[in-house]
Structure 1
Amino acid sequence: MEMLPNDLLRHKSECENLKRICVIGAGAGGLAALKVISDTAYFKSGKWSVIAYEARTNVGGIWRPAPPVADSYNVPLTPLYDSLTTNLPHPVMAYTSYSFPPETPLFPRAHVVQTYLESYALHFNLMPFIRFSTTVLDARWESTKWIVTLSDGERLTYDHLVVANGHYHIPRIPDVPGLADWVKHDKAFHSVWYRKPDFLGDKVLIVGGGPSGQDIAAEMCTVTSVVVHAFSNPGAEPKSVNTGNLIRRGRAIEFRANGQVIFDDGILEDNIDRCILATGFQMHLPFLEGSSMINKNMPPEIPPLIPSELFNSTYHVFPLEKHLFPLQTQYPVSSVAFMGLMMMVAPLPLMEAQAHAIVRAFADPGSLDPITEAADIIARAEKIRRAGASTPLDTAKAWFRFDKDEQWSYRDELYEFAQDVESGTPPIKVTEWEKECCDLTVEMRSAWERLEKSGEAGEWLRDVGKNGVQDWVDLMHRVMDYAGNPHN
């Protein structure tokens, strides 16, 4: 049926008023953004549209496995090693809107998390909003729109970007004297290439005290005569390591050509055959760098002034309002959001909260208050400096590392901010059991590993989760009681 002139004008007006949103990445953050956006009245009424571009062939991001490539010049798509289990109990790490299936092991293997994310995407019908095997090569603000160039050569315009491409891809190699030569001669390699414990020599050095560094050190103890584990706090006990061939050392400060490494306490270890660097990853936003939408340098120290452009120091993206929205002058602050940059947090529920805040800012740009946010940024910088950061680099490294309670207050603040526009969405507060269980994760994980080794875990899991979240809360309390019983 042919449109009448008035219908044509109305259709043109509706197209012009349509808010088009581009999500970069379909890992945990991108999926949260798609779910929350597609739930809104704006989307359901046809006022908003959303699409995610995912470089790989399925959802999942870091949780979707990829084999290590054969050479050190091409980085694997994910650093996922074969034995990886979550370092948080899944009731704490799950989206608030979608639990793991009943009887899921409390600390699931990576493939279980991948299946969970696939199930989440199917349950909320997100797959139609994802274009797979498509990389965003370039995104630049021109006049009033983001111009996005895709890997197939297509160029499209969007009103908003949600950047959810993750930050566990480009390995960070520390600038330590002699280390570059070790890497060049394949005597040292980053953990992004690690998949399982193989014999690499009689004496192996693991650098890095994070979860992957501790896991890899424990695994290498099963195949190597001596494992030296170097990290900044050697007084901390590695997780579940109870072997006689592990040596803990402080920070490595010099690598010598003869297999010797010197540590910050002056101790020298010799005859080291190989080194695995579990030293983290760089924040990587190549689609913004080519168009000068972001400055890949260390930002100037503040106060007195907040810079007028956005910076990627590779340790942090700065400055961001609410750790999401770029406080700069090249493009509207509310036109783009950066998801999931925090570390040492429960990421999925946090990114879900961020998605709700993003909807608020996209719908109502005036809800962002640059003056208040700038003051908050300056206050955070001063807090980090009081905690011991003496250089801009120290500040950058600490920027997204939330202390014990910050992630909980941050989540609550995001939901409070989102409530003003998202009518009908009940306020979501972080529960006390989340805080308690997160604080006791190390003890809980150790106890759960003992239950799995003893063969009792299956019985503990029987029917748990069939009656809702409280089942999981009760199980975690039982496991914590088990952990505190010296006779177990």
Structure 2
Amino acid sequence: MGSFTNIKSVAVIGAGPAGLAAVKYLKAENCFDSIVAFEQRHEVGGVWNFTGNVSKQHQSDLTIPRTKPAGSVERAVSTRKQTGSITQVFPSPIYDALETNIPHTLMNYTDKPFPTDCPLFPPFDTVKRYLEEYAGDIRSHLKLGTQIERVRLITGAGVQNTKWTLRYIDLTSGTSCEESFDAVVCASGHYSDPFIPDIPGISEFDANHPGVISHSKYYRSPRPYANKKVVIVGNSASGVDISRQISTFAAHVIVSEKEKPKTLHSDSESITYRPEIAEFIADSRTIRFVNGDAETEVDHIVFCTGYQYSFPFLKDLEEPVATTGERTSNVYQHIFYHPQPTLAFLTLPQRIVPFPVAEAQAAYVARVFSGRLALPTLAEMKTWEHDVLQAKGSKGFHNLGFPEDVDYINALYSISMSARNCETRGEGKTPPFWDEEKRWTRQQFPMIKQAALKLGESRRDVRCLRDLGFDFEAWKREEHLKQKVGP
């Protein structure tokens, strides 16, 4: 593919954790005349902006089932008056008592630790403040309250002579604008377009009992579920957390999960675990499971089934990036749109620690766009995508669970650090490298989180891993002794 030599302006879509990292790493190249991050919210932080309750009117936009990416950009659910101006509010999946499921010593940016006095698993408002501080020195590059509606490729003679035209709305004034850039970094995330599977009978059930079925995106508090029978579909991070919270208020919580071993089961006696749902039956609000068991008179069903890959502002691309919603198509290394790699994506992978992965990817993108790194040939990039698809399938394409995520971060580090130096512009910003301690912590963190949850409310007093009995140095000494003694 060769090196880019004429990229002088870069647009970043999104000013959440990934978009902020993108701006920092692009800026550190000292190469670009213009770096602009567009964010539809009026504050930085992306999904870490708490938006409170979402009205039933706007929850009605949730089609059931929902198995294909949205065809249009997200609409605001309400407006707020702030310091004399009107701001648009876009729903966030953050709920009242959300705290991270990753220790902050692992999830932080490379050059910015979390405050020493915050809990090991910080609440969402601490993360939001952390992101605001991280954005402090790049505010001049941010255009907040601007929603990207359409991104079009204006093709020139060859890959080096293309432009991207972005049409966006200034949400404060309502003005429609257009700007052109040499390259685009899509850092819009994938936690806005809910996925609800098409299970037999679900449409009829929803039509007969409107409002009973919802998605974790709209969950805020366990109080509305007091004395109710509630079914939680899915038992990953959000399913575990929401079922645990609701179980303290509900009469009965049923968690429907795939039939495979889980380490994240709650100890609550009010939670029953069932296999996958086989059928919805409108009569008596009944759910039948694949093992033949059934639950009748169900009051609420919350799908904690994740989100779809959705980029409605990119629908003009000749080779699409979002079709089924299961993955992003035509990408190399989960980053570069190989038909035209002046378009890049951040944090597409799942089962990762997002902040450091965003940094690792942003470093790669910044060095490619500045011309200090070359990409493989188009054929090689297509082969990479084909091979991953063959190995993992469409649903698993972006899954980088441990140890793949650690290896990915370190591989990107090696690639980025191999970039040729530019004496007049410097060496750019150094991305993360995860050493043995980071790798060990990453491997342990599901157990670390489980240990914290067992402490109940006192888990908020935990400040370090040793408080929970996880000591890397002690583990290392034990491993050393085992090797000396032998089998």
Which residue of 58, 64, 88 corresponds with 2:49?
Answer: 64
Please say if 1:73 is aligned against 2:81.
Answer: no
Q: What amino acid does structure 2 have at the position aligned with 1:368?
A: P
CA distance, structure 1, for counterparts of residue 430 and residue 314 of structure 2: 35
Which residue of 432, 439, 445 corresponds with 1:435?
Answer: 439
Q: Is the 8 A contact 1:26 1:53 kept in 2?
A: yes
Please say if 1:378 is aligned against 2:383.
Answer: no
- CA distance 1:264–1:324, shift in 2 (3 Å): same
Q: What amino acid does structure 1 have at the position aligned with 2:363?
A: H
Q: Which residue matches 1:131?
A: 143
Q: Which residue matches 2:424?
A: none
CA distance, structure 1, for counterparts of residue 250 and residue 118 of structure 2: 33
Shift of 1:349: 0.2
Q: Which residue matches 2:280?
A: 255
Shift of 1:80: 0.7
Please say if 1:337 is aligned against 2:326.
Answer: no
- CA distance 1:195–1:293, shift in 2 (3 Å): farther
Shift of 1:280: 1.0
- CA distance 1:404–1:237, shift in 2 (3 Å): closer
Shift of 1:104: 1.7
Return the structure number with greater helix share.
1
Which residue of 352, 359, 362 corresponds with 1:355?
Answer: 362
Please say if 1:106 is aligned against 2:136.
Answer: no
**3-state DSSP of counterpart to 1:413:** helix
Please say if 1:206 is aligned against 2:217.
Answer: no
Please say if 1:172 is aligned against 2:195.
Answer: yes
Shift of 1:448: 2.9
Q: Which residue matches 1:400?
A: 398
TM superposition score normalised by structure 1 = 0.80
- CA distance 1:362–1:111, shift in 2 (3 Å): same
Q: Alpha-carbon deviations, 1:328-383, whole Å to 9, x = none?
A: 2xxx22x1101111111011000101001001221237433333333322322232
**3-state DSSP of counterpart to 2:360:** helix
Structure with higher RCO (Cα < 8 A, 6+ apart):
2
Q: Which residue matches 1:84?
A: 98
CA distance, structure 2, for counterparts of residue 412 and residue 134 of structure 1: 34
TM superposition score normalised by structure 2 = 0.81
Shift of 1:161: 0.4
Q: Which residue matches 2:257?
A: 231
Name the stretch that deviates more: 426-435 or 244-253: 426-435
Q: What amino acid does structure 2 have at the position aligned with 1:342?
A: P
Q: Alpha-carbon deviations, 1:380-413, whole Å to 9, x = none?
A: 22322xxxxxxxxxx2211111132111111112
Q: What amino acid does structure 2 have at the position aligned with 1:183?
A: D
Q: Which residue matches 1:419?
A: 417
- CA distance 1:293–1:53, shift in 2 (3 Å): farther
Q: Is the 8 A contact 2:22 2:359 kept in 1?
A: yes
Which residue of 25, 31, 36 corresponds with 1:42?
Answer: 31
Name the stretch that deviates more: 310-319 or 141-150: 310-319
Q: Which residue matches 1:121?
A: 135
Shift of 1:436: 1.0
Q: Is the 8 A contact 1:140 1:293 kept in 2?
A: no
Q: What amino acid does structure 1 have at the position aligned with 2:385?
A: I
> Aligned-residue CA RMSD in angstroms?
2.4
- CA distance 1:214–1:448, shift in 2 (3 Å): closer
Name the stretch that deviates more: 20-29 or 260-269: 260-269
CA distance, structure 2, for counterparts of residue 79 and residue 237 of structure 1: 24
CA distance, structure 1, for counterparts of residue 294 and residue 467 of structure 2: 45
Q: Is the 8 A contact 2:359 2:432 kept in 1?
A: no
Aligned length: 418
CA distance, structure 2, for counterparts of residue 86 and residue 369 of structure 1: 39
Q: Is the 8 A contact 2:310 2:322 kept in 1?
A: no
CA distance, structure 1, for counterparts of residue 202 and residue 229 of structure 2: 17
Q: Is the 8 A contact 2:110 2:431 kept in 1?
A: no
CA distance, structure 2, for counterparts of residue 172 and residue 294 of structure 1: 23
Q: Which residue matches 2:154?
A: 142
- CA distance 1:252–1:42, shift in 2 (3 Å): same
Aligned pairs for 1:302-313 within 5 A: 310-313=321-324
**3-state DSSP of counterpart to 2:394:** helix
Shift of 1:416: 1.7
Which residue of 213, 217, 221 corresponds with 1:196?
Answer: 221
Please say if 1:217 is aligned against 2:238.
Answer: no
Shift of 1:482: 8.6
Shift of 1:117: 0.5
